[in-house]
Amino acid sequence: MREKSLKKFYITTPIYYVNAPPHLGHAYTTIAADALARYKRLKRYNVFFLTGTDEHGNKIAQAAKKRGIKPIELANEMASRYQKLWEKLHISYDDFIRTTESRHIEIVKNVFQKLYEQKDIYKGNYEGWYCIPCESFWLKSQLREGNLCPDCGRKVEKIKEECYYFNLSRYEKKLSDYIEKNPDFIQPPTRRNEVIEFIKRGLRDICITRLNLEWGIPCPLEEKHTIYVWTDALLNYISALGYSLDQEKFSLFWPADIHLLAKDIIRFHCIIWPALLMALEINLPRHIFAHGWWKIKGEKMSKSKGNVIDPQKLTQDYGTDALRYFLLREIPFGEDGNFSMDAFIKRVNSDLANDLGNLLNRTLPLIEKYSQGKIPPYYEQREEDIKLREKVEKVFPSFDEAIEKLSFSKALSLIWEIVKSANLYIDRCSPWREAKKKEGIKRCHTVLYNLSETLRLLGLLLFPFIPQSAEKLWNQLGIKEKLEEQTFDKAKKWGLLTVGTKINKGAPLFPRIFTP
């Protein structure tokens, strides 16, 4: 068990549906969560970062049947693909929950039984419309023309069957009051407003079992009923902490500090999930943040449309950190964005190769040439030296504020203010010219030390976003300490780079991408 003395931080992604391989949208959410988790660890939080896979439901059974395999075989294959991709993307999760695991199934059944006994679940009959791809029930008034699902636009089925209901309407006022009193509970504000409007239209009790489905968690009351996949999936956030089984772990990390998810699943996370927690008399998560979509030519990426981007291929061709940087830098987190290879290549070449890479690639050869490959000593500071240091130091408070608000793009733009200032500094101070002057080597060394120290601090700031490259940057500066073991508030102090440290000049961190 982890130390209780540290402030805890519990962050989650949604668990991803295993009917198809991971795409760019899955990577986006998970990279964002990873950046925040890494930052919080540097701030000495006791972080628990959860991700995983959602493996039950009719859609999984149908996808497996098409391939002539068992549902569990499909789930195993896809869960492995997610885990391999997260490893490739340097995702530092603490737990990977699968809804087919016994630890999850036991807790789901326990929750169902508890809610039934307290009359929050009751038996009834359902007659209405159901979308298999979305695993969602709809009223006739909610359908698009032609009996199409309002979410995915595909045909829905009319079903009539016995089921168990969750008494969602019982929690309508309580949930509405909570959202009103806690304006930061749902973010950004546009998503909060959507949820408020949905609740105002009235909440109906929802069907939470299906009858005679072959692939799902059996209802503990009647095994012919299967627990609805979305109810099953939402409970992962507490089953991973051992709710009702491991009180010490659960009390240490719950409530979640933030659920990160895409905007298309806010109804489940901002209405059904809080209502379930209220019924269980469990504190609600502190924040739910629903980000926008990456689109292709203005259209949402969709497996059915075949316009998804494979993040595995992008990392193979251009590097993991190039993809991580682009996704978090290109658009404000929360808004929609259009993905194009032209924009990707332009951003990588401009920011990473030209700006950051160029700064490192100019500084290290000068240290080799004028300081025997060792971090040089520094002497009297001139006005331009002081300005560079002040620029670096002034960024830290704004950087903290930006990343705490999940303004990843702004946080990176603040870092790039330092990168650009350092590139201007090296041009203006021209240490190679100073070295040629009589007594000029001291000035040359001072400039090179200031540049090296700036690069050290850039590595610290960049670690949450591009961890592998930040570690390489520190290694090239000759720093032995691991970045992930640093305490942010101590390491951000100017002047900690040890004079005389032997540098390890290596290959460029970000080679330019050349297109035909």
pLDDT tens figures, 72-95: 999 999 999 999 999 999 999 999
CA distances for 251 relative to 100, 239, 255, angstroms: 24, 13, 8
The amino acid present at 413, given as its one-letter code, is: S
Instruction: Return left, alpha or beta for 430; rule: phi > 0 is left, psi -120 to 50 is alpha, else beta.
Output: left
pLDDT at 4: 54
pLDDT, tens only, 199-257: 999 999 999 998 888 899 999 999 999 999 999 999 999 999 999 999 999 999 999 99
The rounded distance, in Å, linking the Cα atoms of 276 and 274 is: 5
* Mean pLDDT, the chain, whole residue set: 94
Residue 208: left if φ>0, alpha if ψ -120 to 50, beta else—which one? alpha
Among 56-65, 81-90, 502-511, which range has the highest average pLDDT? 81-90
Residues 88-142: tens digit of each pLDDT: 999 999 999 999 999 999 999 999 999 999 999 999 998 778 887 777 777 777 8
* Whether residue 2 has pLDDT greater than 70: no
Residues with Cβ within 8 Å of residue 439, at least 6 apart in sequence:
none
**Ramachandran quadrant class, 478 (left: phi over 0; alpha: psi -120 to 50; beta: rest):** left
Looking at residue 1, its pLDDT comes to 44
Find the range with the poorest average confidence among 269-273, 276-280, 378-382.
378-382
Instruction: Please compute the mean of the pLDDT values over residues 329-353 and round it to a whole number.
Output: 95
Distance of CA 24 to the CA centre of its chain: 12
Taking only the tens place, the pLDDT of each residue in 382-416 is 999 999 999 999 999 999 999 999 999 999 999 99
**449, 452, 470, 482: which is closest to 352 by C-alpha?**
470
pLDDT at 303: 65
Task: Supply the pLDDT for residue 300.
Answer: 77
Q: Which residues touch 485 (CB under 8 Å, ≥6 apart)? A: none
233 and 195 Cβ atoms separated by less than 8 Å? no
**CA 204 – CA 220 distance, rounded (Å):** 24
In this model, does residue 351 exceed pLDDT 60?
yes
Phi-psi region of 101 (alpha: psi -120 to 50; beta: other; left: phi over 0): beta
Residue 183 tokens read as: 């304006």
Confidence of residue 153 (pLDDT cuts 50, 70, 90): confident
Domains of the chain: 341-491 (1.10.730.10)
Q: Give burial (CB, 10 Å; 0-12/13-18/19+) of 265.
A: middle
Query: What's the predicted TM-score (pTM) here?
Result: 0.94
How many whole angstroms separate alpha carbon 249 and alpha carbon 1?
Answer: 7
Largest CA distance in the chain: 93
